[in-house]
Homo-oligomer: A and B are copies of this chain.
Amino acid sequence: MANQPAVHDWISGLVLFEGIAKECRDRLAAASREVPVIRQEVIYRRGDSATGLFVLATGHVKLSIQSDKGPEKVIDLIGPGQSFGEAAMVLSHLYQHQAQALEDGLLIWIPKDAVDKAAETYAGFSRRLMTSLALQCESLQHDIELVNLHSASERVADYLLHQPIEEGKTRLRFDKRVIASKLGLKPETFSRALQQLKMQGLIAVKGASILILDPNRLRSVA
């Protein structure tokens, strides 16, 4: 219980709990557990049963699906403040994907009982959960649209424009291989797509940092 204050502070600040009654947050915080993770650590595997909800405090997490052989497909990249694993928990299902820490970080884990109880008692929290799921649906739909209807460089352009941009500059926060997989591309193809955008004078690339030279034309590509 020594860690409760810290957990509570985190929970209070997170998107998932924005505007939620203090009492509700307190209860969730009381039930939750801090889970430190180290780089590369697998948080859950496909087939594990979902007994709770994860919220990421610090670090980054990769959600992915592995096939029988080597290749994996990254379905989402999670940053601080975001939650994951909701769908399987809501359905009392087995996870259909794997979650893995990309770096050392801290998770907050809230057991299903507490989530269910809170959702039942506090309509506001219930609506928040629903919103989170709906956002995921739209995000997944967007990914499907990208893979099916758009070329490699169009997908890369779209990705860049959705990153946090400061003074026309952005920074790839993940391995290029990981980003490539999220976009449904091989690392080689991703690299070539970046080259292409560079040659068209739309961006300048220096390692992981990318300068957006022509936002308008970049948008029209995506």
Contact = CB atoms under 8 A, between A and B. Distances in A.
A2 interface: no
Interface string A143-165: 11101111000000000000000
A62 to B, nearest CB: 14
Contacts of A134: 86-88, 90-91, 133
Contact of A141 (B140, B147, B150): B140
A51 interface: no
Most chain B CB atoms below 10 A, which of A67, A135, A138: A138
23 contacts: A65-B141, A65-B144, A73-B144, A75-B141, A87-B137, A91-B131, A93-B138, A96-B138, A96-B142, A97-B141, A119-B123, A119-B126, A120-B123, A120-B127, A126-B126, A130-B130, A130-B133, A133-B133, A136-B137, A137-B137, A137-B140, A143-B144, A147-B148
A52 interface: no
Nearest to A86: B134
A107 interface: no
Number of copies: 2
A71 interface: yes
A59 interface: no
Given A75-B145, A86-B137, A126-B126, 17 more contacts: A67-B150, A71-B149, A87-B138, A88-B134, A88-B138, A90-B134, A91-B131, A91-B135, A91-B138, A96-B141, A119-B126, A123-B126, A136-B137, A137-B140, A140-B144, A143-B144, A144-B147
A203 interface: no
B137 A126 contact: no
Given A147-B147, A148-B73, A148-B147, A130 B126 contact: yes
A97 B210 CA distance: 31
Contacts of A130: 90, 119, 126, 129-130, 133
A129 B90 CA distance: 11
Contacts of A148: 73, 147, 184
